[in-house]
Amino acid sequence: MRSKGAAIPYVVWMALFVVAPLVLVVIYACTSRDGTPTADHFSVMLQYAAVFGRSFWLAFIATLVCILLGYPMAYILARERGRLRNMATMLIMLPMWMNFLLRTYSWVFLLERNGFFNTLLSSIGLPKLDIISTSGAVVLGMVYNFLPFMVLPIFSVIEKIDGRVIEAAQDLGASSAQVFRRVIFPLSLPGVLSGVTMVFIPSVSTFVISRLLGGGKKLLLGDLIEMQFLGSAYNPHLGSAISLVMMVIVLVSIGLMNRFGEGEGEAVLL
Amino acid sequence: MSKELIRLQNLCMAFDGEPVLNNINLYINDKEFLTLLGPSGCGKTTTLRIIGGFTTPTSGDVLFDGVRINDVPPNRRQINTVFQKYALFPHLNVFENVAFGLRLKRIPDPRDPSGKRTIRLSEEEIRTRVLEMLEVVSLKGFENRKPAALSGGQQQRVAIARALVNQPKVLLLDEPLGALDLKLRKDMQIELKRIQQQVGITFVYVTHDQEEALTMSDTIVVMDKGTIQQIGSPEDIYNEPKNAFVADFIGESNIIDGVMLRDKCVKLYGREFACLDSGFAENEPVDVVIRPEDIDIVPPEQGQLAGTVTSVTFKGMQYDIIVDFRGFKWLIQTTDHSPVGARIGVKIDPDGFHIMKKSAYSGQFGDYSSYSDEYDELSDADAVGADEQEDGYAE
């Protein structure tokens, strides 16, 4: 009985801040402005297919880049010991202590037409580059902001791999490359999977990064939803419907990924 | 018949300047079951890791079939290891765990006359050999289980199969039964010995359990403080321990200060006793070992010595009786019950005495004044805990 009593604050919290908003989203998504049930929002949404496509595509690219950059980083870090490792972990965590907006703004300053990089380029006689307001800049912003979320889970999984298992593989004739391919990599997959979720979800729903670095030209789902609630196109019903669809797509893709993960015999940390 | 396979020459090892191995010289014969026995921190696991190639000795050589292999990495040695706590691959099922080494193996291509090209083993061959090996360790039908779904004993046998399937010349076993319960441990001891005889290869076995060592080994190497104390057959080690450490570590021993008056005559507590040992100087001070089971209890007036019973413990097969002889307490194992406080005599036949030269260990062992069961169990638990630390990766 005592344990049930202790759970009450959490139940109330969940009901107020998780369940209730979700129910509201569903209700809004399925009603029109005058409150009558309708499925119109979902058909209207079709005209935004390109935004959906772009959002998922850019988030996919950003996640991929995060894996390619983050995995080796995490691997080296996990094999390292002592002070170097602590310092490297610090350096990875450091940007996360700064305000998200501030971090992203600083990239605007760096990439602008007359920003830091272009000034540097022209000072050595090279032509200026148009980086800002491109999809590339948006991906860069995503990777920069979310890379730690890829590195840390992979790092913690690799770090926990029993050294004896690696020795066992060597003992059975595996070279360093074979030890990695046959033992370390498969055992680190759960970390990769949770890293993927932690990078993909914020990437697909971001609006700050695309607003600042995409120059408002490359509309993403986050921007679209924000516009429906706070912007010119004020229509919370459509906004809710888009949120709902996005949520379903994300949940389904994570579900599929976890299924794939279980096939490997691993529990995904989510 | 017994050909030398491995030789350790003047092996020394230090971690951070702390000596762990001290001039180890040892040879291991083909098809031999050799056990490195000693308390935690004695260097037995380090010795095993050097043979396996996981640790490089500070100085000294490791010879395999006459060839120096100090710098050969573990994946190129014809040696496989059964690790403490098994170290099975958690992401692979039993079949794939056992097949791991075979899938990496390359053999000369029979179609290539120059014999330089190599190929992988065929899937059927891998399958046959894995299933055959699972049969040897009685794990047929478990192919698709993940290690997490196996009991400790089963994991143990997977680890053995995974090593043996590669047909190594030597199998190294690092306290492989340490995590099993007593009953299973006894079964696995017999099982291991059977497997060793069936496959006919050399086993090098590390343990701190003297009973395990006596049960399985052809040769026992007793180690302490990074030094080999004695090498011999189980019978030799038990009957003719070289010093007080060995006598105490292998079985129970009463170790008493004595003086060797002349050949076959030793003096204890001011009395002369007949014994079978000779070859000592006249009046040489010695350590005298009397095994608790070699002491007969007789009425006080008939005994060579008389003492008072201070504690009796029922052990199932026998009673452990502690008897006070002028302040020095002896352990006697007997099937006859004597009550606490009783005055009893003891009689020891000449072959019940074993005389040892004095050593650095004299006076440290063999007195049962502080004897109690809890004490023994506590020190055993300590040994296991400390061992894990010893085996931790030395960086």
In-domain check, residue A54: yes
Map out the domains of chain B as residue ranges.
4-238, 252-383
**B contacts of A175 (beta carbons < 8 Å):** 75
**A contacts of B80 (beta carbons < 8 Å):** 171-172
Q: Select from B79, B87, B146 the Cβ nearest to the Cβ of A164.
A: B87
Per-residue confidence in pLDDT tens, chain A, 270 aa: 556 788 889 999 999 999 999 999 999 988 888 888 888 888 888 888 888 999 999 999 999 999 999 999 999 988 887 788 888 888 888 888 888 888 888 888 888 888 888 888 888 888 888 888 888 899 999 999 999 999 999 999 999 998 899 999 999 989 989 999 999 999 999 999 999 989 999 999 888 888 888 877 778 888 888 888 888 788 889 889 999 999 998 889 888 887 776 554 444 433
**Is the Cβ–Cβ distance between B152 and B100 less than 8 Å?**
no
**DSSP state for residue B300 in the 8-state scheme:** G
The predicted structure's pLDDT at residue B343: 87
The predicted structure's pLDDT at residue B106: 83
How many Cβ atoms from other residues are within 10 Å of residue A114's Cβ? 8
**DSSP state for residue B303 in the 8-state scheme:** S
The predicted structure's pLDDT at residue A262: 58
Note whether A170 contacts B166, CB cutoff 8 Å: no
Mean pLDDT calculated for residue range B13-24: 88
**A contacts of B101 (beta carbons < 8 Å):** 172-173
Best of A171, A188, A264 to disrupt the B interface (most B CBs within 10 Å) is A171
Instruction: Tell me whether A168 touches chain B (CB under 8 Å).
Output: yes
Dist. CA B137–CA B186, nearest whole Å: 15
Mean pLDDT calculated for residue range B336-357: 86
Dist. CA B203–CA B81, nearest whole Å: 10
The predicted structure's pLDDT at residue B382: 41
Count contacts between A and B (CB, < 8 Å).
Answer: 68
A80: closest chain B residue by CA = B395
| Mean pLDDT of all residues belonging to chain B | 84
The predicted structure's pLDDT at residue A35: 82
Q: Select from B54, B85, B101 the Cβ nearest to the Cβ of A172.
A: B101
Residues of chain B with pLDDT > 70, as a percent, come to 92
**A contacts of B89 (beta carbons < 8 Å):** 165, 168-169, 183
Dist. CA B358–CA A175, nearest whole Å: 51
**Is the Cβ–Cβ distance between B250 and B210 less than 8 Å?**
yes
Report which secondary-structure segment, H or E, holds A210: helix A208-213
Angle separating helix axes A221-230 and A185-205, nearest 10 degrees: 30
B90: closest chain A residue by CA = A187
Note whether B101 contacts A182, CB cutoff 8 Å: no
In-domain check, residue A112: yes
Q: What range does the domain containing A186 cover?
A: 46-263
DSSP-based three-state secondary structure for A159: helix
Q: Select from A167, A168, A186 the Cβ nearest to the Cβ of B91.
A: A186
In-domain check, residue A2: no
CATH of the domain at A159: 1.10.3720.10
- Number of domains chain A contains: 1
A267: closest chain B residue by CA = B91
Q: Select from A163, A178, A264 the Cβ nearest to the Cβ of B104.
A: A178
Q: Report, in this order, helix, strand and coil percent for chain B, each rounded to 5.
A: 30, 35, 35
The predicted structure's pLDDT at residue A20: 93
**Is the Cβ–Cβ distance between B222 and B249 less than 8 Å?**
yes
N-term to C-term CA, chain B: 41
ipTM: 0.76
pLDDT tens-digit profile of B95-113? 999 999 999 988 887 777 7
Dist. CA B149–CA B141, nearest whole Å: 13
Dist. CA B241–CA A128, nearest whole Å: 86
Could you identify the residue written with the tokens 């040994």?
Answer: B383
Dist. CA A154–CA A163, nearest whole Å: 16
Quick one: tokens of B264?
A: 């076959």
Does the pLDDT of residue B86 top 90, yes or no? no
Dist. CA A258–CA A194, nearest whole Å: 9
Q: What is the pTM of this model?
A: 0.78
Q: Chain B neighbours among A 134-153 (CB < 8 Å)?
A: none
Kindly report the nearest CA distance between residue A267 and chain B, in angstroms.
11
The predicted structure's pLDDT at residue B117: 81
| Those residues with Cβ within 8 angstroms of residue A107's Cβ, 6 or more apart along the chain or in another chain | A137, A140, A141, A144, A212, A213
Q: What are phi and psi of B8, to 5 degrees?
A: -105, 125
Report which secondary-structure segment, H or E, holds B19: strand B18-29
**DSSP state for residue A127 in the 8-state scheme:** P
How many Cβ atoms from other residues are within 10 Å of residue B97's Cβ? 27
Mean pLDDT calculated for residue range B248-262: 86
The predicted structure's pLDDT at residue B263: 84
Note whether B163 contacts A265, CB cutoff 8 Å: no
Dist. CA B198–CA B237, nearest whole Å: 26
**A contacts of B162 (beta carbons < 8 Å):** 168, 172
Q: Select from B74, B91, B146 the Cβ nearest to the Cβ of A170.
A: B74
**Is the Cβ–Cβ distance between A263 and B146 less than 8 Å?**
no
Dist. CA A199–CA A191, nearest whole Å: 12
* Degrees to nearest 5, angle at CA A152 with A151 and A154: 70
Residues, chain A, total? Answer: 270
Give residue B382's identity as a one-letter amino acid code: D
How many Cβ atoms from other residues are within 10 Å of residue A3's Cβ? 6
| Those residues with Cβ within 8 angstroms of residue B285's Cβ, 6 or more apart along the chain or in another chain | B257, B258, B259, B260, B358
- DSSP-assigned beta bridge partners for residue B63: B7, B68
* Chain B residues within 8 angstroms (CB to CB) of chain A: 52, 54, 73-76, 79-81, 83-85, 87-91, 100-101, 104-105, 146, 162-163, 166, 393, 395
Residue B268 pLDDT level (bands cut at 50, 70, 90): confident
Q: Chain B neighbours among A 184-203 (CB < 8 Å)?
A: 186-187
Q: Which residue has the higher pLDDT, B388 or A157?
A: A157
Q: Select from B90, B146, B162 the Cβ nearest to the Cβ of A187.
A: B90
Note whether B91 contacts A162, CB cutoff 8 Å: no
Is the domain spanning B252-383 CATH 2.40.50.140? The answer is yes
Does the pLDDT of residue B91 top 80, yes or no? yes
Q: Select from A163, A183, A186 the Cβ nearest to the Cβ of B393.
A: A163
Quick one: tokens of B306?
A: 């008389």
Query: What's the topology of domain B4-238?
Result: Rossmann fold (3.40.50)
Dist. CA B388–CA B208, nearest whole Å: 12
pLDDT tens-digit profile of B299-314? 888 888 888 888 888 8
Quick one: tokens of A7?
A: 């759970």
